[in-house]
Structure 1
Amino acid sequence: MNKTIVFSKKLLYNLSVLLIVLTSCQEKAMVLPAEVATVEKPAISPSEKYTLVIENHGTSDLPYREFKILDQEQNLVYTSSEQFDIRHTTYFLWGADDRVWVYSGDIGTFFWENEPDTKKWQQHVYARSDVPAPSYLKDQRPRLHQR
């Protein structure tokens, strides 16, 4: 068999597999629930009082993400001091009671809630709390989010 034909068949097969993988990734990104925020798509809180905005920062050697919370008038309410490494799987989303949830494959799961007494956003470690995780995190990482 001609080497050019064999090479062309292998190339065509590899391109087909690549196209399937890319299409699958694109479909997954398109079906994110409304409560999940990405750099491309901010998310509105369940009460519709807040917007969760994700931003890329850092250098090309050390890229990371941070989140911001805006009020209904798009005024800045809170900026995270935490930096979430882009190289690890990270989810940013709203949960019940307008809690902001972040799962980082690097450092774990956290949530922030607006404390009624102080009116300040307070960070909590999921593993040290009795607050149930949002269903999205339970679906994506069930072993880590069992309550």
Structure 2
Amino acid sequence: MNKTIVFFKKLFYNLLVVLIVLTSCQEKAMVLPAEVATVENPAISPSGKYTLVIESNKTSDLPYQQFKILDQEQNVLYTSSEQFDIRHTTYFLWGADDRVWVYSGDIGTFFWENEPDTKEWQQHVYARSDVPAPSYLKEQRPRLHQR
């Protein structure tokens, strides 16, 4: 009977540790700012003109995410040709001047902006630009987004 009590005590403590770990993981999955888009939650641009939609493809051998930019009537204005591997931390969000930002732990930080002359979305590499990163990226990855 003593062995049974010891067994259940160990089981209880192990379950308690698992519960604490799961609870702390849920706390890290905090509510994201409105400018951050996920598969479950599209994000509206600062001007209200555009919606950033994230799509996930889990049917291939290498699951990935892509984004689309929609206008107010839900017409697709741009679909990213880039495929962001879901195994790496990736953030999709709006920044100032209706720029779409993507941080990929795999390949770096990029932004897209609608060129006024051509009305086309152009990709830029953050590291080669002088455009400051959105505050969310500065908070999440401060060493990589210092301006």
Give the TM-score, by structure 1 length. 0.92
The equivalent of 2:112 in structure 1 is 112
How many matched pairs? 147
Taking the aligned partners of 1:78 and 1:108, their CA distance within structure 2 comes to: 20
Taking the aligned partners of 2:115 and 2:59, their CA distance within structure 1 comes to: 34
1:82 is the counterpart of 2:82: yes
Change (3 A) 1:7 1:69: farther
Q: Report the aligned-residue RMSD.
A: 1.6
State the 1:58 CA deviation. 4.4
Taking the aligned partners of 2:89 and 2:137, their CA distance within structure 1 comes to: 12
Q: Residue type of the partner of 1:41? A: N
Change (3 A) 1:4 1:124: farther
Change (3 A) 1:73 1:131: same
Taking the aligned partners of 1:121 and 1:3, their CA distance within structure 2 comes to: 68
Taking the aligned partners of 1:142 and 1:36, their CA distance within structure 2 comes to: 17
The equivalent of 1:71 in structure 2 is 71
Q: Residue type of the partner of 1:18? A: V
Map 1:2-13; keep pairs closer than 5 Å. 2-13=2-13
Provide structure 2 residue ranges, at least 5 long, that are not aligned to the other structure.
none
State the 1:31 CA deviation. 1.6
1:51 is the counterpart of 2:51: yes
The equivalent of 2:134 in structure 1 is 134
Change (3 A) 1:46 1:66: same
Greater shift, 75-84 or 20-29, is seen at: 20-29
Give the TM-score, by structure 2 length. 0.92
Provide structure 1 residue ranges, at least 5 long, that are not aligned to the other structure.
none
Greater shift, 73-82 or 9-18, is seen at: 9-18
Taking the aligned partners of 1:124 and 1:135, their CA distance within structure 2 comes to: 18
Taking the aligned partners of 1:7 and 1:115, their CA distance within structure 2 comes to: 67
Q: Deviations over 1:96-115 (max 9, x none)?
A: 00000000000000000000
Q: Deviations over 1:3-27 (max 9, x none)?
A: 3333333332333233333333333
State the 1:60 CA deviation. 5.4
| Bigger-Rg structure (1/2) | 2
Taking the aligned partners of 2:48 and 2:114, their CA distance within structure 1 comes to: 14
Point out 4+ residue stretches in structure 1 off by more than 2 angstroms. 1-30, 58-61
Taking the aligned partners of 1:63 and 1:76, their CA distance within structure 2 comes to: 22
